[in-house]
Amino acid sequence: AVLCPGLVDMRVAIGEPGYEYRETVASAARAASAGGVTTMAVLPNSLPAIDDPALVRLLRQRGDETGAISILPYGAATRGCAGKEMAEIGLLREAGAIAFTDGTQAIADARTMRTILSYARGFGAMVVQHPEEPSLARGGCATEGELATRLGLPSIPLAAEAIMIARDIRLAEMTRGRLHFGHVSTAEGLALIRAAKARGIAVTCDTAPPYFDLNETAIGDFRTYAKLSPPLRAEADRQAVVAALADGTIDAIASDHAPWDADDKRFPFAQAAAGGTGLATLLGVTLA
């Protein structure tokens, strides 16, 4: 048994509003309670996206109504999480948004990202990026390499993560904004973050248990439960994540909880949904 304060999970995707068939606030609260999580930061990738102050207030209220968890909503960085037009960051912040992100999607346009970093800085807010260059990642479902080739799966090069991290570190340096990368999973990406921290740039990052507990062999013969975004990596990258946890390069461990209906996982691997549950197992897997 482990006795500790309630956990704060800084990366949770739930279905409410709009995708309640995947998960509701109530079911997420039950999973969180099972894993010792009492506060969760919720991504804005709902339907509609959390780009309206009223939705920020609603999510906070829905968490309070459970009596079990507190919800800290992320505000969408762009309208509809579409990556084109900056959302009303000031109003979202005033309503209680803790930071700004497009969640499971990268903010692809560099000019837009620069504007968001600059504007968020004025409100003392952090910008959270999904570190994956989307044109390189488009259509891929496994890490580029021998395993993906053998299984015949469309792949994503490791450089897709590093390219986005390198670009946004430079933008953070230009704007003096606060930048955080979610679920970092490659040795090259971690090396860039480590070097940026050494230069005094305001950059932080997290990872999730699959990236230090599993490697790409977990997909085996097309096991869709192990299809994640970003995809699982080779053993060398897994070891790099472990080392970065040990030396403090990685600032937090988040569950990256992103549940799907079972039917969404029953498709062939390339077509199956990417993501999995993690709230209930966050602490157990981390301490294992």
Q: Are 244 and 194 in contact (CB under 8 A)?
A: yes
145 to each of 153, 208, 210, 254, how far by Cα in Å?
A: 10, 22, 19, 27
Edge-to-edge order in the sheet of strand 7-12: 7-12, 37-42, 70-73
Q: What is the dihedral of CA 86, 179, 74, 71, to 10 degrees?
A: -170
CA distance 119 to 108: 17
Distance CA 185, CA 98 (A): 24
DSSP-based three-state secondary structure for 148? helix
251 is catalytic: no
Tokens representing residue 268 in the block: 């062939």
**Helix, coil or strand: residue 203:** strand
Could you say which of 168, 206, 251, 256 is catalytic? Answer: 256
Cβ 158 vs Cβ 235: under 8 Å: no
Q: 40 with 76: CB under 8 angstroms?
A: no
| DSSP conformation letters of 63-106 | HHHHSS-EEEEPEESBGGG-SSSB--HHHHHHHT--EEE-TTS-
Q: Could you list the active site residues?
A: 256
